[in-house]
Structure 1
Amino acid sequence: MTTDRPSSPRPRPPRAPSRSQPTTVHGQVRLDPWAWLADLEDPAVLAHLRAEQAHTEQATAPLAPLAAQLFEEIRARVAETDRSVPVAWGPWWYYRRTLTGLEYALHCRAPRGPKDFDPPDPGNAPLPGEQVVLDENRLADGAAYLDVADVVPSPDHRRLAYTVDLRGAERYVLHVRLADQLDAPCERIAEVAAGVVFLDDRHLLYTRADHANRPWQVLRHRLGDPPEADEVLLREPDERFHLGLSRTKDGRYVLVESHAKVTSEIWVVPTDDPGARPAVLLPRREGVSYVAEHHRGWFLLLTDDQAPEFRVCGLPAQATGELPPRWRELVPHRPDVHLEALEVVADHLVLAERAGASPRLSVLPLPEDLGSADLPLPEGRTVPAPPDPAACWLGPNPDPANPTLRYEHTSLLVPRTTLDLDLRSGRSQVRKQQDVLGGYDPDRYDAARLWARAPDGERIPVSVVRRADVPLDGRAPCLLIGYGAYGHSLDPVFSSARLSLLDRGVTVALAHVRGGGELGRRWWEGARLTAKPTSFTDLLAVADRLVDAGWADPERIVLRGASAGGLLVGATLNLAPERFAGVVAEVPFVDCLTTMLDPTLPLTVTERDEWGNPLADPEVYRVMASYAPYDNVRPVPYPPVLATGSLEDSRVGCHEPAKWVQRLRAAHPANQVLLRVDLGAGHAGPSGRYAAWREEAFVLAVVLAFLGLANALRP
């Protein structure tokens, strides 16, 4: 990293001793010199991680003033005292508030009239009659980390259930107490997974995780009983599947959902019979997935059965468990439109869709009697959204009688906006737009959708933004961000923190490479399993397109990716280290081959539908061994690299970036590689908002240093 400060001797990075023990898989010998770093019980490992953190602090000390400045810029754009748009739920308005100086949110409610669906004014003040039902700051009580995964009122709204993790390991404690008394006695159930739902006012369901942190049991708890008396309702023995819980919008059923990557099965429990055993909705069929909602005696199913991009079918509630099902097709399969989610709001079916790399919402009126209606349903109307590249998604819509649809949209230029669509008139009303303090003017910036051409001829979408006065002459430094896995999309959402880069002349690009979901199921399948290397050549093609179109300087492109996106940028770096000015890899899945060879690690078995099983399949092993970032570091100079890890990360162990950093350093004496370790957080990093802003400010300072702009003046 460079600054314009006087040079000083580079601090010597920690060197972990090599303790290589060769292993042979499918006749191939593999060396792993730093495998011992995975043993967090070894005191030497923690000592090494602390040494890495100290080294990074020393090496980046010249950037501290810039990081502090960036933090203040980020903070100055945020309305620190704020209130979300209230949501009508039962007799209450529910909303969240933040207060200046507090890391975490307050969960609040205030009384509303029985037919009062228009939320109060979008100001930041408490509503009349406000009750604080949960203060996350009190829960943290000085802890370095806090994650509240669930906040669920009982059907009568008298009680509140919530799950709390104070480590980052995604092991939670379930609390249940009276909603209107913060100091009321709590029932506590330890060692639960995220996900809790009330059956009725006296019974709830929750999940427990196995040794691999996979939710695999559903238990029923009667309030007032000791947890030891809780009954296990369901066990999922197949390690590829994890269990989740939801309640249908009309409150008639609780759904127990078992999901693998490409297969699912749902069981239903009627809420008017809390002692009932779960009944299967549709029996499991390998390679078929579905989600469900209930409406007027029918289950509405979003399924990929004979429909790669999904279709919507209706199944009579009395026909559950039948195969083949007696369903009626409401929305047929369309190969150019991918259906992601469904919602039922006031006798309307709302679909979250993707078409041409752009997310959108579509609304279709539901007939009163699906059994006698003419089907399929007429084509729905599309909900207005900002110009591409943009994103939109469904908001909370818990009240089935509410005649308005809450949704949100944003773009690279438009701050996050909360809207209500009147389903009767078809008109949308903005309820609130994210405040961006300091005089943000979207006209000062320019965003575009580009298309890159991959080596196999496929067109790859790219979302890109710059300040409008930065010329398209191929001289702008560029931050290129990618993910490309699990069918998850890297949506072009607004970021006020990003303005600190744009205002320093940096172009920011989002690469929608294959492996993601931007162009539907085929986009995911195009870089899944043994096709995974397609993601890496896609990313190189995106970099080429940015240069050819004049958006980026070929000598000043920095890559950034997190988790599976860390694998993406790490593997791409190995293909062409000379192409990039630096890489930021956050909690990166860079030692993927080692992890996927070890079925005892969290998530390994459930991940096989994404990456394959290299332990059982020689071809999967061959392909993964050819791209795994840790295994393919070349003995050549690399650009500077910042990797991050979290000690409590149960998804990507911090040994993965630690091992990768060691191999990069050993590959060439010129390689400057840093590891930043959070010793008190999990996969998502710091939990408090100020802590998260400081972390982002640090990363942005490093990006600017990699780009040669560490001390660039603000305009």
Structure 2
Amino acid sequence: MTIDSPTSGSATPATPPVASRSHLVRTHHGDSVEDPYEWFRGKEDAAVIEHLEAENAYTQERTAHLEGLRTTIFEEIKGRTLETDLSVPTRHGAWWYYGRTLEGKQYGIHCRAPLASEDDWTPPELSPDAAVPGEQVLLDGNVEAEGQEFFALGSFEVSLDGTLLLYGVDVAGDERYTVRVRNLVTGEQLPDEIPGTFAGATFSPDGRFIVYTTVDDAWRPDTVWLHELGTPVADDAKLFHEPDERYWVGAGFTHSDRFLVIGIGSSITSEEWLVDAGDLRAEPRVVWPRTEGVEYDSSHAVIDGEDVLFILHNDGALDFELVRVAASDPSGARQTVIPHRPGERLLGVSTFRDWGVVGYRRGGLPRIGMLDYADGSVSEIEFDEPLYAVGTGGNPEWAPPVLRLGYGSFVTPGTVYDYDIATHKLLLRKRQPVLGGYEPSDYAQARVWATAHDGVQIPVSLVWKRSFGEAGDAPRALHLYGYGSYEHSIEPGFSVPRLSELDRGVIFAVAHVRGGGEMGRQWYEDGKMLSKRNTFTDFVDCARHLIDQGFTSASQLVAEGGSAGGLLMGAVANLAPELFAGILADVPFVDALTTILDPSLPLTVIEWDEWGDPLHNADVYAYMKSYSPYENVRADVAYPRILAVTSLNDTRVLYVEPAKWVARLREVGADALLKCEMVAGHGGVSGRYNSWKERAFELAWLLEVVALAD
């Protein structure tokens, strides 16, 4: 590799920044590639910051005429949101825990109030206008964020006895958190302070220790530590270290508080180690030794006085099966609880004292079932909408009579239910209020199926406002979202900001392309590694289907994706630019080959299980080079309008990728804008009002692209 100094360039807000070019040549497997914008990677270089600021100035200049629409959309989001509100309380120990939001405040306030009695399992109905008897403010994010441009919590936990709070704070957006401890009885801030942790620090059940993880230079969580309160951090004990760069490490206690579980995982392989919670300095013991390509996770239960583990695994079971083993001998005899059912992907199991909960996918939708320990039967909790999203949440107690669920759909706002175990009834605890007269019946949702190039049927979910007619009656503006990586499923959930486009006649759609997990594990396998192109062609085929069936037209279609979904956006821009009027790429992974070739960069080595290893495999190198967006910008096509949004402190997809991509797009005459948040991370800006403004910026641009900006 050779690098010469960048040549000089110039930019003014009224014209696109002209990025300087350097003479850098990268050679792998006998293939030499010139990369004139790799110098953008120098984050500390004043010239890089100057260029990013010039890009921001140009984007602001190009979109200044949308300021009125941005303000309108922001006010719509704000006007539909009950700004002063409370979450549904969750019982833990002797307290009800809940969150407050206050009008005008960016961040939430974490609170608790005492139980009325030990038998109290019905959460109190709290009103923003009424004082809560015995309320204690645990942490006010607005106070903690004072003087900071960015604020995020990565850990938040109260000790089992309710006397101590630990919380981890990030004020840069780089997802490195400083853990602090507060005495909730006296209000005193303890001297214990642990910098540079990963998210998810936790108290031991007795409250004497904090278990936390740290990362290596490539931002990989690799080490689990034990900190005893009141002792120097320098004396913390190293519980576990994983030297293999392909694996992440995490730790947490079982729901029963019986064991500390240290989990090690890559994209295709996992391993767990158990430590007795009463002796955390003891040597960990492995559940199942790792086997390449085998994933599993365990959940502890006590049945007839015996410690058992329910283990969800894919050893010879593509869509996973659930087995039960003795905790004292996990590698011994296995009792099959739920056998492998091809096409019905088992997602997870949670165990409580008297019963378990199983999550799974069938027919492209998530499902929840109650597991009977006696006979292994599963009773599914049913919902009556054709499209929905559901999951468990807020269930810290070991022996509750109810199960807390979160539910929603494209048209049903976020809903909290308690499922009564004895009566099998769903008890509505709260539905997200949507102000301004929102009526779910004014909107419709449906699923259609597009045929891929190889005959596979791709599900596409849609939502629209009925007053504009039925979807498909006539071509309309359509916003098509996609992701398609890591077996991550895009669920049909509710969004307040989305109403601002639906109410202007836009149809919102999700293309559930291969590489995601919507249709089972094979769906994922068929969209990764040397089958990754299926993700991109699936999205193109979904777009063509929506155009051919009269839902939209190429001049009215805008695509969006973020992170790995941003790779999807860059790829389809090169594959079929004629199908789209605009492409919105959030923190896009568009310089994939450069990143995955460099093992010193954050996440690269562990990503080889997802994308392949182009550094050591010439076939993978050639395949990735054939689709990586930055490598394949074309001079022979007219690109749609493009908006790329990134963050300077993102540790997952570095700002340099969209910056390079936009510069190369400009070389071929593309109308491409770059917006870089100078103090933010992978999730964008912090604070709810800031995030609403950010989304308003993106939606205003989108509406202009489809000629609905008036």
In 1: Cα distance, 2:132 partner to 2:549 partner: 51
Per the normalisation by structure 2, the TM-score is: 0.95
The C-alpha deviation readout for 1:104-155, integer Å capped at 9, x for no partner, is: 1111111112221111115445532111111111111131111101111112
- Paired position in structure 2 for 1:614: 614
Partner Cα separation in structure 2 for residue 570 and residue 362 of structure 1: 39
Q: Distance in 2 between matches of 1:279 and 1:135?
A: 40
- Residues 1:120 and 2:120 are matched in the alignment: no
- Provide, for residues 221-257 of structure 1, a one-character-per-residue CA deviation record: whole Å limited to 9, x for no partner: 1100000000111100011111111211111111111
Conserved? CA contact 1:650–1:682, under 8 Å: yes
Match of 2:463 in 1: 465
Quick one: structure 1 residues 386 and 19, their matched pair in 2 at CA, closer, same or farther if it must change by over 3 Å?
farther
Corresponding position of 1:172: 177
2:411 touches 2:445 (CA, 8 Å); kept in 1? yes
| Unaligned 5+ runs, structure 1 | 1-8, 368-373
Equivalent residue number for residue 8 of structure 2: none
C-alpha displacement of 1:280? 1.4
Equivalent pair of 2:13/2:58 in contact (CA under 8 Å): no
Q: Does residue 1:363 correspond to 2:370, yes or no? A: yes
Distance (whole Å) between structure 1 residues aligned to residue 519 and residue 224 of structure 2:
35
1:373-384 maps to which residues of 2 (within 5 A)?
Answer: 377-378=376-377, 380-384=378-382
Partner of 1:5: none
1:587 corresponds to which residue?
Answer: 587
Match of 2:9? none
Corresponding letter in the other structure for 2:370: V
Matches within 5 A, 1:267-346: 267-296=273-302, 297-320=307-330, 322=331, 325-346=332-353
1:542-561 CA deviation, whole Å, 9 max, x = no partner? 11221233322232100111
Alpha-carbon deviation of 1:437? 0.4
Whether contact under 8 Å (1:220, 1:233) holds in the other structure is yes
Q: Report the secondary structure of 1:424's partner residue.
A: coil
State how many pairs are aligned.
Answer: 689
- Deviation of the 1:563 alpha carbon: 0.4
1:696 maps to what in 2? Answer: 695
Root-mean-square deviation (CA), in Å? 1.4
Question: 1:141-540 to 2 correspondence within 5 Å?
Answer: 141-199=146-204, 200-296=206-302, 297-320=307-330, 322=331, 325-367=332-374, 377-378=376-377, 380-471=378-469, 472-540=472-540
Contact 2:350/2:358, CA 8 A, preserved across alignment? yes
Deviations 1:446-476 (A, max 9, x none): 1101111000000101110111122333320
The answer for the alignment partner of 1:93 in structure 2 is 96
CA apart distance, 1:509: 0.5
Q: Deviations over 1:298-334 (max 9, x none)?
A: 01111112211111111211104x3xx3221111111
Q: Is the 8 A contact 1:18 1:33 kept in 2?
A: yes
Q: Deviation per CA, 1:470-508: give whole Å up to 9, x if none.
A: 233332011100000000001110111111101101111
What amino acid is aligned across from residue 240 of structure 2 in structure 1? Answer: L
Contact 1:486–1:516, Cα closer than 8 Å, also in 2: yes
Q: Distance in 2 between matches of 1:183 and 1:46?
A: 41
In 2, are the aligned partners of 1:147 and 1:687 still within 8 Å (CA)?
yes
Change (3 A) 1:699 1:93: same
Contact 1:70 1:701 in 2 (8 A): yes
Q: Secondary structure at the match of 2:287?
A: strand
Q: Distance in 1 between matches of 2:126 and 2:446?
A: 31
Decide whether the 8 Å contact of 2:554 with 2:578 is kept in 1. Answer: no
* Equivalent pair of 1:131/1:180 in contact (CA under 8 Å): no
**Superposed CA offset, 1:648-699 (max 9, x none):** 000111010000000000012xx21110010000000011000000000000
Task: Classify 1:122/1:337 alpha carbon distance in 2 versus 1 (closer, same or farther; 3 Å).
Answer: farther
In structure 1, the residue matched to 2:141 is: 136
Check the 8 A contact 1:474/1:547 in 2, yes or no: no
Match of 1:45, as an amino acid?
V
Distance 1:551 1:385 in 2: 28
CA displacement at 1:630 relative to structure 2: 0.6
1:196-244 superposed Cα distances (whole Å, 9 cap, x missing partner): 1222221121111100111101111110000000011110001111111
Could you list the per-position Cα deviations for residues 9-35 of structure 1 after superposition, in whole angstroms to 9, with x for gaps in the alignment? 992110111113222211222121101
Offset of 1:514 from its aligned partner?
0.4
Q: What whole-Å deviation, never above 9, does each CA across 1:517-548 have from its counterpart, x for those lacking one?
A: 10111111011101101011100111122123
Name the CA distance, whole Å, in 1 between partners of 2:188 and 2:553.
58
Q: What residue is the counterpart of 2:685 in the other structure?
A: 686
Select between 110-119 and 563-572 the one with higher mean Cα deviation. 110-119
Amino acid at match of 1:340: L
User: Aligned letter for 1:402?
Assistant: P
Q: What do the CA deviations read for 1:261-312 (whole angstroms, capped 9, x no partner)? A: 1111111111122332222122111111111111001011111122111111
Would the aligned equivalents of 2:13 and 2:54 in 1 still touch at CA under 8 Å? no
Q: What SS is found at the alignment partner of 2:165?
A: strand
- 1:575 positional shift: 0.5
Which letter maps to 1:223? L
Aligned to 1:708: 707
Q: Deviations over 1:582-605 (max 9, x none)?
A: 111010000000000100000000
Q: Distance in 2 between matches of 1:126 and 1:168?
A: 35
TM-score by length of 1: 0.95
State the SS of the aligned residue for 2:606: coil
**Seq. identity, %:** 44
**Distance in 2 between residues matched to 1:180 and 1:705, nearest whole Å:** 54
Q: Please say which of residues 238-247 and 274-283 is displaced more in the overlay.
A: 274-283
Q: Distance in 2 between matches of 1:10 and 1:103?
A: 31
**Structure-2 separation of matches of 1:93 and 1:558:** 44
SS at match of 1:388: coil
Q: How far did residue 37 of structure 1 move?
A: 0.5
SS in structure 2 at match of 1:405: strand
Match of 2:84 in 1: 81
Q: Quick check: 2:138–2:184 contact (8 Å CA) kept in 1?
A: yes
User: For 1:262 and 1:181, how far apart are their aligned partners in 2?
Assistant: 47
Q: Which amino acid counterpart does residue 693 of structure 1 have in structure 2?
A: W
> Contact conserved, 1:147 with 1:168, CA < 8 A, in 2?
yes
- Measure the CA separation in 1 of the matches of 2:73 and 2:438: 16
Match of 2:428, SS state, is: strand
Secondary structure (helix, strand or coil) at the match of 1:588 reads coil
Q: Which residue of 2 aligns with 1:31?
A: 34
What do the CA deviations read for 1:410-464 (whole angstroms, capped 9, x no partner)?
A: 1101101000001111111110000100000111111101111000000101110
CA contact (8 A) 2:301 2:353 kept: no
For the residues of structure 2 that align with 1:475 and 1:489, how far apart are their CA atoms? 28
Q: 1:51-70 to 2 correspondence within 5 Å?
A: 51-70=54-73
1:6 matched residue in structure 2 = none
CA distance in 2, matches of 1:91, 1:619: 59
In the alignment, the residues of structure 2 paired with residue 181 and residue 335 of structure 1 have an alpha-carbon distance, to the nearest angstrom, of 55
- Give the counterpart letter for 2:497 in structure 1: A
Give yes or no for contact 2:666–2:672 (8 Å, CA) kept in 1.
yes
- How far apart in 2 are the matches of 1:398 and 1:555? 50
